[in-house]
Chain A
């Protein structure tokens, strides 16, 4: 039912009322009801919803449409519902969704069952001049299951516009109203107990500028703890790699906050939890490394000359084997006494009300003053260090600069609600460009080293082992050339970042205007 007019029924109206009301004016021929089911999909972090897209399957076909629209953008035949983008059949649909879904798994949100009855509106020759489809949508297959929504669709027949206009007028007079600004999607996921606001890996923290710094910091940390908890709960299911990734990012942000939002909590718990979260982070390092290399398998292969491409396969087989072991290790780690204790204590610590008088020297400072001071200081450090790095682009210096940028990024994201969103978002986007350059460089360094190390492992036997070493060698060679290209681009990227207009923007937004002392 696409491109057709949709009406909602007047209250208390049913199919009998409908045929009754129209029988006076039209000859109607009713068809047997048609039953159809559909399942709606999205990723855990609502990637499709966030792009106003609805993906659903119905009778061995996949359909993509926009929210509030009935027009199908793309469709494709399937035998099984796909989980990952690489499971999709080659199609326009796949092309459209590959940049949206990336590595995230599709989860079934809910199923809908539709029962529609076509009513032919006939003219004197008993020719169909329009079709009225009475559609009941339920969230369960059973006929007595409660109806989520009832729609009446008017399907015009080509060449009978006058008759169709007449019919619509008649319907409107009877109390039917066209419903364009409505989508069954919302009722369906609500009935399934799901909510598109339930998860986002982005920081959506709302702070009050006048808030005490310790209180604001606890709000940030609490938010991060929730992200950890949600992802931790899904890690064992191993649906996709991003639960672990988001879990780790939340830990990294927590550690960064503990290190950078200085002296808002007493010294003792601060240093304890810094150590604790460093431990928690390490628990998952190996698994994440393996995920990264496996996700990059195709990209790595593409870097190789065609003759060597298949030779590297044993490497990925080896990594895959190791991954299932690493996953089990992570699951055990998350069930360990130490981990449980850390999380329990941490939650209790965050739940404690802030103390008066404050227990640390910056605790009582307003968060806006604190944020300005810390961000501005970090920015200036980056400009200073970066300028020095320009003279001598050693790998270590680039690495240090990357860490400093990451710290600044986290600070800006923690405190973004305190500043005009447009201005701070521009500055974050500029920082991201610099970070991408530094990040790409670092990834290649790490990957090179990883490949060098792994080449010592028994990846295959005999001739295959020799072949794979050649492939790895070639890969490292390509990476090294790539590294140099990125390094060469650093100077310009950094110059853009440290340019006078950017400096002014930073100073306008963050240079301290306060009288408060932040230590």
Chain B
């Protein structure tokens, strides 16, 4: 089983759209996939038309075990299940501290799924506190959507600094460009600069497209509703690039 977090310490960068589409593409390729919605806003859950309702709340979640397994719902697609989120997950962060190894908790919780799934994708909320520690500890790879703007690049630097300070392996962090507008010179310049400056930047970009925004209306991955669309092709390209770069010799 491999674990991949779609993570950013900045909001509105296209995390959920990425998590939803990549999990769909992996499942389509025959990989038994679980998308784990960690965001109290439960957008991924919504996209898959699943009710954002947990019977156990944040405390129950953090306990782990069979209860969580029972909360998993099958999506409309083969090989793809989802662990829903609901609003109670906003209490997740303080709940971690009740355990002995609070930063390793998530890693322990997902051990339960080892036999059933080949891949777990975390759709993460914006965080850089203990939940982020949990995500870094539980994930084999961290994929960061990056809007080519100054602020976004600045947050990415902050993230890398945080990781280095806390001794997390920055080698498992990958970034790709999201919501790109190629007509904007600044976008192009920043992208060129980033590719030069950092190792883990994938040469793959998701353009700013209304098709992706429409996912909220269609309530399905754009890769499923419009497989031939530009948006769908962009996600497919991202998934291929990610597999080639991060998973080279370590196939899922």
Q: A residues engaging B (CB < 8 A)?
A: 120, 125-128, 156-160
Contact = CB atoms under 8 A, between A and B. Distances in A.
Given A125-B49, A127-B49, A127-B50, A158 B81 contact: yes
A486 B73 CA distance: 63
Contacts, number: 29
A159 B71 contact: yes
B194 interface: no
Contacts of A126: 49, 219
Contacts of B70: 159
Interface string B193-236: 00000000000000000000000000100000000000000000
A13 B76 CA distance: 28
B51 interface: yes
A127 B72 contact: no
Contacts of B76: 120, 127-128
A85 B75 CA distance: 40
Given A125-B49, A127-B48, 12 more contacts: A120-B76, A125-B50, A126-B49, A126-B219, A127-B76, A128-B75, A157-B73, A157-B74, A158-B72, A159-B70, A159-B73, A159-B74
A160 B74 contact: yes
Which secondary structure dominates where chain A touches chain B?
A: loop
Interface in B43-95: 48-51, 70-76, 81
How big is the B interface, by class? 10 to 19
A156 B73 CA distance: 11
Nearest to B84: A159
Which secondary structure dominates where chain B touches chain A?
A: loop
A4 to B, nearest CB: 13
A120 B72 CA distance: 19
Contacts of B74: 128, 156-160
A158 B49 contact: no
B75 to A, nearest CB: 8
Contacts of B73: 157-160
Contacts of B75: 128
Contacts of A125: 49-51, 219
A126 B70 CA distance: 22
A444 to B, nearest CB: 49
Contacts of A156: 74
A135 B143 CA distance: 42
A128 B77 CA distance: 9
B185 to A, nearest CB: 43
A129 to B, nearest CB: 9
A279 to B, nearest CB: 61
A378 B193 CA distance: 96
Nearest to B116: A158
Contacts of A158: 72-74, 81
Contacts of B51: 125
A158 B33 CA distance: 13
A36 to B, nearest CB: 15
Nearest to A161: B70
Contacts of A120: 76
Nearest to B51: A125
A297 to B, nearest CB: 37
Contacts of B219: 125-126
Interface in B122-173: none
